[in-house]
Amino acid sequence: MTHVRFIGTDGTIREVVAAPGARLLEVAQADGQPLEGTCEGQMACSTCHVIVAADDFDKLPAPTEDEEDMLDLAAGATRTSRLACQIVLRADLDGLTVRIPGEVRNMQGR
């Protein structure tokens, strides 16, 4: 199992446990986190934008060019921003910490 820490917009920390192979977006939504995922994980929007803790960011595979294009549309994007629909949990990501951004821009990229 993989533990994930969500830091809410108000600073509240929630830790959940998920099975390896689960997508972070689905785990977040099941926990009631305010990630819309308007495009249902098709990488056609940025409404599942999260900010990954710096210590965890390098554990993730590099984002694709399409993901980087969507992140260009995300409100408040940072150097460690990713789309939750593109993060597949693995055992080595145990303890992954992500922050939920304070604002979301719902713009279709395609």
Residue 110 domain flag: no
Each residue's pLDDT tens digit, 76-97: 999 999 999 999 999 999 999 9
Domain housing 33: 2-99
Task: Tally the domains of the chain.
Answer: 1
Residue 34 domain flag: yes
Torsion angle defined by CA atoms of residues 14, 19, 21 and 24, in that order, rounded to the nearest 10 degrees: -10
Cβ atoms within 10 Å, residue 32: 10
Residue 45 domain flag: yes
Residue 84 domain flag: yes
Q: Tell which residue, 100, 94, 95, has the closest CA to residue 82.
A: 100
The pTM assigned to this predicted structure is 0.90
Q: What is the pLDDT of residue 91?
A: 95
Residue 109 domain flag: no
Each residue's pLDDT tens digit, 46-77: 999 999 999 999 999 999 999 999 999 998 99
Each residue's pLDDT tens digit, 10-41: 999 999 999 999 999 999 999 999 998 889 88
Provide the CATH number for the domain around residue 89: 3.10.20.30
